[in-house]
Amino acid sequence: MRARRAKLDSPVLLADGRRLGGSMLRQLFIGQCLVLALHLAWMPAWLVALALAVAGYRFLQLRSRLPRAGVVLRLAAVGVLVLALWLQFGTLGNMDALIGLLLGVYLLKLLETQDRRDARIVVLIGLVATTVAFLHDQGILMAAGALLAVAWLLQSLVWLAGGSRLRQTWRETAWLLVLSAPLMTLLFVSFPRLGPLWSMPQMDRASTGLSDEISPGDIAELSRSARRAFRASFEGPEPNPGERYWRVYTLSHFDGIRWSRATPDQLSATLERPVGAFVSQGVRSPWQAPETARFSVELLLEPDSRPWRPSLGTPLATETPQRYLADGTLEGLSALSSRGLLTLDSSGAPPANPDPAGSRWHRLLPVDANPRTRALAERLWRESDNDPDAYLEAMMARFGESPYRYTLTPPRLVGEHRVDDFLFDSQAGYCSHYASAAAVMARMAGIPARVVAGFLGGERHPDGHFTVRDYDAHAWVEVWREGGWRRLDPTAVIAPERVEQGAGAVDDGAEAFLADAGFSPLRMREVDWVNRMRLGWERMEYRWQREVIGYQRESRRSLMARLTGWWREAWARLDALLPGRSMLATALSLAIALVVTAGLALLVRMGWRHRRLQRDERRLVSVLQAWLARHGLAARPGESPASHLRRIAPQAGPAGRALNECADDLERLAFAPLERGERAERRRRLSQRVSEVRRRLPRRRRGRGGTGA
């Protein structure tokens, strides 16, 4: 144990006073590993091999087995790095490639790091790379890892500044972090959030596999994934399980195989109408009455390269401008490169306004497609006496009859008439199969219909917020009836447990549920203690994202309002304890005046004393000697101040260099013929060295005799 402690406390090897030895290079390499670990979930794994190759080269170079890396080798390494990144990402212009280039240069910099100046540059690049890691993720684990990396890099800077013992450098690093914490907290709470000062290419990734076009079987694939899409917290009433239909896309174009979304620009070009007829930008929907709002929800959205925004039913109003589409869906003004908060009022029901695309657009079908389904639709229409409502009821009832079944592993459909193949051959499918068939049959009867893709349900947490994941993806149908859109969900007929309990409640094909999430704790949600730990972690992570990462102008105003409320409440309690408001005001005013006066007097005294000491070097050093005496390093009888400081310097550890420089400065001030400016500069240096001695001197027991060692 003693040998290990002596090894940890051994001084850093700085050969020739400035050139770096193996200990400092090892310190820099460990810092690089910590920074690289923050990025590895998003960066190519071969960067680890690059870091090991650079470290191995420097190790062999220190052992004199390899020459120092020359300009040709370093340029070749940079060229190979750029080529590898281009092959990996296909471009150097997106965010991931730029981050990879920064990390690669950071790792290669160790090849030419020879002295303290180079080492400081390596540490500074590491600090920048640590900050860049928050472009990937801003969660709790990322913050904890970044704090560890920053602490290690700061400790490296302290070492480079002259620290000689591991324990001392870590103590100074911890002190720096503690001193900076109050300022960081104050700036975080009070400083307004600024927008980005420059534009960077967004990372092209989606938070969910839900797409704006689907074919039968697509959404069934999402039941294999536990990836989070968004989280929701309601202010006021919460929807029942059967009301949690989160609209994302309306799919109105059918080519016989796939349902796809027609964008406002496409509709404008096809129907020769202005784009403004299909989309409006603002904080309120122009197509819906605001008094129809039933739910107010705060959404915490995952980053996504697409600008979609979910809404519970029809979106009505938001706190910030959004794009409201006439089909009852919502879009952001831009994609989300990081998690974002959105407060939304919605109706919880399908839109009541007619779609500007017109009823004809919502009755279009490919000619001669799915003949068996068309024959079935004509028969049901005749049996319903040409009554649209009776026809829809008969259609939905047919889906609930045997042999139709709801399964998470539907058979693959590859024929030309896929609705026919589903309804008359396989008769087993997921929500998208039944929604597609229902919309086609409604259009065959001349009823305007469209498919809606979004999410159904969501896991409710004990603290009240909901988490919606990929496996909650769902598709249903909307038909135009009696002056409004009406929701039809065949899944509620054939598999009501899917609507009430989620995809995990479906027995048929249950082996496919979460099949792509082998290590997800959701697979062990039946184990009580595991599920409690999972819910606790997700609750903590949600509060972190909402209250720390999502701390914006509104949050700051709310915090200031709470602080003001607490102050008023405390004032009211004090007012109730004293006989009159005037007496309370007088007492508080006197107390505040006394505290302010005492504080100003203390500041003036400290400033006057500091100025006096800076002008009198002998008094400054005598104060230092008295302080050293209290720490067991007193001067001997008849010993001059300079001799005293030089004698104790070898015993002072990290403060030894500063003590020697204090002695040199004191002698030059006392005996050298200095100009006025040079004398002032020398006094300033002496004051800085005295402060450095106080900061770096290791703690020791005070000597009993008072004369020191």
Beta strand spans in 187-227 (E) = 213-214
Percent of the chain that is helix, strand, coil (3-state, to 5): 55, 15, 30
User: Are the C-beta atoms of residues 47 and 104 closer than 8 Å to each other?
Assistant: yes
d(CA 304, CA 302): 6
Residue type, 99: I
Taking the CA of residue 133 as centre, how many other CA atoms within 13 Å lie in the half-sphere pointing to its CB?
27
Cα radius of gyration (the chain): 36
Count CB neighbours of 693 within 10 A.
23
Residue type, 21: G
Question: 3-state DSSP call for residue 279?
Answer: strand
List the beta bridge partners of residue 308.
331
**What is the DSSP secondary-structure string of 75-105?**
HHHHHHHHHHHHHHHS-SSSHHHHHHHHHHH
d(CA 668, CA 664): 6
Question: What residues act catalytically?
Answer: 431, 474, 489
What are the CA-CA distances from residue 603 to residues 390, 607, 610 (Å)?
87, 6, 10
d(CA 451, CA 438): 9
Going by the DSSP 8-state scheme, the letter that residue 336 receives in this structure is B
Strand order in the sheet with 449-456: 311-312, 245-251, 449-456, 473-481, 484-488
Three-class SS of 493-555 = HHCHHHHHHCHHHCCCCHHHCCCCCCCCHHHHCCCHHHHHHHHHHHHHHHHHHHHHHCCCHHH
d(CA 37, CA 49): 13
User: Are the C-beta atoms of residues 68 and 58 closer than 8 Å to each other?
Assistant: no
Beta strand spans in 335-406 (E) = 340-346, 405-406
d(CA 226, CA 261): 25
Q: How many residues does the chain have?
A: 709
User: Are the C-beta atoms of residues 394 and 388 closer than 8 Å to each other?
Assistant: no
d(CA 292, CA 313): 11
User: Are the C-beta atoms of residues 218 and 448 closer than 8 Å to each other?
Assistant: no
Phi, psi of 484 (to 5 degrees): -170, 160
